[in-house]
Structure 1
Amino acid sequence: MQRVGKKLACLLVFMMLFTVIGCGGSGSQTGDQSGGQSDILTKDADVVVIGAGTAGMTAAIEAASEGAKVILLEKMGKVGGSSRFAEGVFGAESPLQKELGINISKMETLRKEMEFHNYRVSGPQWKALIDASGNNIQWLLDMGVKFAMVSSPGKGEKTWHVYDGFGDALFDQYLLPKAEELGVEVLVNTPGTELVMEDGRIVGVKASTPDKKELLINTKAAIIATGGFSDDPELVAELTTDDMTQVVNGGTPGHTGDGIKMARAVGAASNGWAIFSKIGLTLERHSVHSHINSAAAMEPSLWVNKFGERYVNEDVIFHYTRAANAVGTQPTTYSIIDSNLLNKMVNEGCYNGFGAYVLPGTKLVDLPAELEDALERGDENVFKADTLEELADKLGIDQDTLLATIDRYNEFCANGQDLDYGKEPQYLNEVKTGPFYAFHIKVLNLNSMGGIRVNIKNEVLNEDYQPIPGLYAAGMDCDGYTGDTYGLNIPGSCQGIALFTGRNSGINAVEYINSL
């Protein structure tokens, strides 16, 4: 009996110790109301930033710089998002422009932006962004960011401050190290899933950990910067008018409108429309760095639709986003060149190129090899034929229609005057010498823009235009910056919006916390 009693006592002590250890630990677990083992982890922060692109990263840096404890959530395996594809950022009256003698007026820039967007944007939001843009460039310079040039893609204004090393360098060399230096806790593979409200204000953010456990972060403010909804068909259908069969999403995957959905769940409103940042045209599955992509999609060659009809002045390509709009009006667009124009692009250089990736005037020396490789692989978007009749057959276009279109176009080229659409004479190149090439080109989208209504402080607004206390939105999730077309007439505005709204939301979130 004594032995049994001792064994029972030992067992009870062991069970008590097990219970204490199981309930104690690091304090990162909360109780399970069902009495079972809980998988809910907890953390505490002053500010939680959801999304680690340019907007989210700069928001985290600003909040941490003000002394806030910041947790930065990133859905993907590394920070940056589609901003890693960014070439440069907007700035007006910046230190670099002044050094280079580039005279860009803030007031004139604001006027042009408002007119470009047909006044379907927020004047106060755009004014605040433009007024702060020069200081934002200085902020990056103070962090050590290096710029390769101040320029313009196509025929826009010289507001485009091109990062030396593009977006990868921005994050890997500057933003991420700065955030870590300031003590920002960066959690990758950890998407935000839900906002927690209490008494009408933000008190927490739920997330999913890499091992699929639920993480509850108790916080005083949350900043949504999830990069939009390009990969969510329902939001695309609701908020845009684009035919997705003609659009190639060129940014990083995973933009499924998470932030917009979380905000809506706690009462956030939307202006009711959003757009894609259609940054030009593309030959699907070919890099923007490639010479074949520039030759096929970004030059003012002959374009025809699926019926063999020419439908636009092709030198619209120098205004990237307007060219995207034009191609978006057609079910299919083919660009057509002959061997003479191909050789001209290789030996003399291209007219347009692609932004800072392929500069205007670049000799497309890789084009022949890239073209041959595409044809050998059976690329369904690349066609070659010895005769125009054969080319028409390969494209599935009526021979007589295509030949009539090309004959008329060649007459314009010979006479130096486009009587149909007014293309500038220097871009009129005959389609006469075989072999001939055609390319099925599409609209290139980097990300969506819009979805959450905000004010000048980047506070998220409800249907009554009242702020939801403690909730902010930044970057591509914000309404107020776009009409129906992304404005590359003022280049770098996508990054400019992200940089401004990120910093702005971080600063205002801390100001809100300090007021509690």
Structure 2
Amino acid sequence: LDESADMHAWVKQIMSNYGYDVNFDADQGLGHGGVGVDMYVPPIQVNYTAREDCPEEYAKLKRNELFEDYIGKQGHEVTYGFDLAKLLTDDSGAVTGAIFDTKSGFVQVNAKNTIMTTGGYAANAVMLDALNPILSKCLTASDWTPGNTGMGIKAAMWAGAMKDPQSAAFVFDRGAVEPGTKAGWTKESLESGQPMLPSTGQFNPGSQPFLKMNLHGERFFNESANYDWAPHAAASQPGGVYLEVWDGNFAEDIERFHSLGCASLTRVMVNTVGMGTDAYLQEWIEKGIVVKADTLEELADGLKLEGDHKKQFLATIDRYNELFDAQEDADFGKEPYLLSQMRTAPFYGVTLGGTLLDTSDGLRINADMQVLNTDAEVIPGLYAAGDCGGSVFADGYYNLTHGMACGRALTFARHAVNHIAGKKA
């Protein structure tokens, strides 16, 4: 909190020099989750977009590519191909460097200070199942970095570090899969000894507060919820997945919803950039993941609902239309402005589960990002930031404070470097 403004000013100057301007987006006054309830969290966010005078060579850079270019211009080098094997310690317990596994063999690097920014353990199925048993019941897609194997956390623990006791996974409600798919590790991947989920990536409209139902056609939670609420609730539902449906008023609805955070991408691409509904959804329709139909009965068929489940699906839609007309969600209490209709063709539906981005239950740290041992004492020479560092989240990602994950990573890492250099952050 004390240093986030300084961090933004620092990043803003870097981005400005590369031809990027900062954009500010905020709640429209309705307050996501803040109408008719006692708690109100005003969500705000900032993004960077290329100016017209931004050089083409910079405009095509991804975020981390731009930062690496900046690092190089400062006279430093990012070296790849170094897989962490272990941290080195002296007789006092201080960390004095690390050993890495490289193509040329093991390499030892001595250092006065080491900052662990190796991410979480999302790519380690064994750690996931051990620390987050609910995830295998509700995940359908992966969006993690393959290098997030938890090795940094384990290496630090081998050196005496303490880990957060409570797990905290970054789960998003965007794991779109083909109709009929169930959540969890696929049978084939388990048999091969390399657990994988049915899909990859994120279907951003999954975070929009449209009507959602289980595979029996029943509405089972308030869709105006944090990213991980739907997948976690679905863990107790048939197949660990759920259905999301909307009608031809998609563009108008998402503009009214005005979702923020990374969920705003749907609104920005469909309306602000001007792609429109058809172009935005076409790829997913062609993949057979999003179902598009002229009637609600055809939509139910496309989502593989039969018999009583199909009847319940249609009845739930009728009930939801009644709630929209009344502008009151008497069933689950969703804010009126987040209600929508299912009356205008074409109709759309998708099967969803959770997408796992990463984990944030990392190493216990103090206010200077120094890693603590199991007696809550500082381990000299060892720092942690980003998802490898803990002491912030528990149970999940508090996404009502938009940008908290990236903002925390940047602010904490900058503080750690300044602390090592003896500078005031």
Asked if TM exceeds 0.5, the reply is yes
Structure 2 equivalent of residue 234 of structure 1: 126
- 1:184 and 2:76 aligned: yes
Distance in 2 of aligned mates of 1:214 and 1:222: 18
Pick closer, same or farther for the CA change 1:151–1:327 going to 2, 3 Å.
Answer: farther
Superposition deviation, residue 400 in structure 1: 2.4
Structure 1 equivalent of residue 212 of structure 2: 303
Q: Secondary structure at the match of 1:503?
A: helix
Structure 2 equivalent of residue 490 of structure 1: 401
Alignment map for 1:134-149 (pairs within 5 Å): 134-145=5-16, 146-149=20-23
1:262 corresponds, among 128, 132, 155, to 155
Given that 2:139 and 2:231 are in contact with CA atoms closer than 8 Å, whether structure 1 keeps it comes out as: no
Superposition deviation, residue 213 in structure 1: 1.6
Amino acid at match of 2:329: D
Q: Secondary structure at the match of 1:186?
A: coil
Pick closer, same or farther for the CA change 1:164–1:241 going to 2, 3 Å.
Answer: farther
Alignment map for 1:306-317 (pairs within 5 Å): 306-316=215-225
Alignment map for 1:416-495 (pairs within 5 Å): 416-495=327-406
Structure 1 equivalent of residue 139 of structure 2: 246
Question: Alpha carbon RMSD of aligned pairs, Å?
Answer: 3.3
Amino acid at match of 1:314: E
Given that 1:352 and 1:360 are in contact with CA atoms closer than 8 Å, whether structure 2 keeps it comes out as: no
Superposition deviation, residue 481 in structure 1: 0.6
Given that 2:139 and 2:356 are in contact with CA atoms closer than 8 Å, whether structure 1 keeps it comes out as: no
Superposition deviation, residue 459 in structure 1: 1.6
Given that 1:194 and 1:206 are in contact with CA atoms closer than 8 Å, whether structure 2 keeps it comes out as: yes
1:333 corresponds, among 227, 242, 247, to 242
Structure 2 equivalent of residue 36 of structure 1: none
Pick closer, same or farther for the CA change 1:183–1:432 going to 2, 3 Å.
Answer: closer
Larger CA Rg, structure 1 vs 2:
1
Pick closer, same or farther for the CA change 1:502–1:334 going to 2, 3 Å.
Answer: same
Given that 2:269 and 2:275 are in contact with CA atoms closer than 8 Å, whether structure 1 keeps it comes out as: no
Distance in 2 of aligned mates of 1:235 and 1:286: 19
Which region of structure 1 is more displaced relative to structure 2, 348-357 or 487-496? Answer: 348-357
Unaligned 5+ segments in structure 2 are 33-40, 51-58, 178-198
Q: Secondary structure at the match of 2:415?
A: helix
Deviation above 6 Å: which 4+ runs of structure 1?
none
Amino acid at match of 1:137: H
Unaligned 5+ segments in structure 1 are 1-129
Distance in 2 of aligned mates of 1:418 and 1:250: 33
Superposition deviation, residue 435 in structure 1: 4.7
Deviation readout 1:339-390 (Å, 9 max, x if unpaired): x3347569x887548545344694374432454554444x2x3224444344
Pick closer, same or farther for the CA change 1:437–1:142 going to 2, 3 Å.
Answer: closer
Amino acid at match of 2:24: V
Which region of structure 1 is more displaced relative to structure 2, 475-484 or 386-395? Answer: 386-395
Q: Secondary structure at the match of 1:303?
A: strand
Amino acid at match of 1:367: T
Q: Secondary structure at the match of 1:314?
A: coil
Which region of structure 1 is more displaced relative to structure 2, 236-245 or 465-474? Answer: 236-245
Superposition deviation, residue 327 in structure 1: 5.0
Given that 1:206 and 1:214 are in contact with CA atoms closer than 8 Å, whether structure 2 keeps it comes out as: yes
Distance in 2 of aligned mates of 1:356 and 1:396: 30
Superposition deviation, residue 449 in structure 1: 0.6
Deviation readout 1:447-500 (Å, 9 max, x if unpaired): 211221112222221111122221111111112111223122222111121112
1:151 corresponds, among 25, 28, 45, to 25
Alignment map for 1:366-405 (pairs within 5 Å): 366-369=276-279, 371-377=281-287, 379=288, 381-397=289-305, 398-405=309-316
Deviation readout 1:68-114 (Å, 9 max, x if unpaired): xxxxxxxxxxxxxxxxxxxxxxxxxxxxxxxxxxxxxxxxxxxxxxx
Structure 2 equivalent of residue 501 of structure 1: 412
Amino acid at match of 1:382: V
Distance in 2 of aligned mates of 1:352 and 1:208: 44
1:197 corresponds, among 89, 95, 98, to 89
Pick closer, same or farther for the CA change 1:332–1:158 going to 2, 3 Å.
Answer: closer
Distance in 2 of aligned mates of 1:242 and 1:341: 35
Pick closer, same or farther for the CA change 1:247–1:273 going to 2, 3 Å.
Answer: farther
Superposition deviation, residue 506 in structure 1: 2.0
Amino acid at match of 2:246: I
Superposition deviation, residue 439 in structure 1: 0.4
Distance in 1 of aligned mates of 2:302 and 2:62: 43
Given that 1:163 and 1:170 are in contact with CA atoms closer than 8 Å, whether structure 2 keeps it comes out as: no
Pick closer, same or farther for the CA change 1:238–1:167 going to 2, 3 Å.
Answer: farther
Pick closer, same or farther for the CA change 1:424–1:471 going to 2, 3 Å.
Answer: closer
Amino acid at match of 1:419: A
Distance in 2 of aligned mates of 1:431 and 1:258: 48
Superposition deviation, residue 158 in structure 1: 5.0
Distance in 2 of aligned mates of 1:277 and 1:446: 5
Distance in 2 of aligned mates of 1:264 and 1:253: 21
Q: Secondary structure at the match of 1:408?
A: helix
Structure 2 equivalent of residue 20 of structure 1: none
Q: Secondary structure at the match of 2:2?
A: helix
Given that 1:250 and 1:446 are in contact with CA atoms closer than 8 Å, whether structure 2 keeps it comes out as: yes
Deviation readout 1:290-320 (Å, 9 max, x if unpaired): xxx44x413222110111100122233xx44
Given that 2:117 and 2:384 are in contact with CA atoms closer than 8 Å, whether structure 1 keeps it comes out as: yes
Amino acid at match of 1:176: E
Pick closer, same or farther for the CA change 1:465–1:306 going to 2, 3 Å.
Answer: same
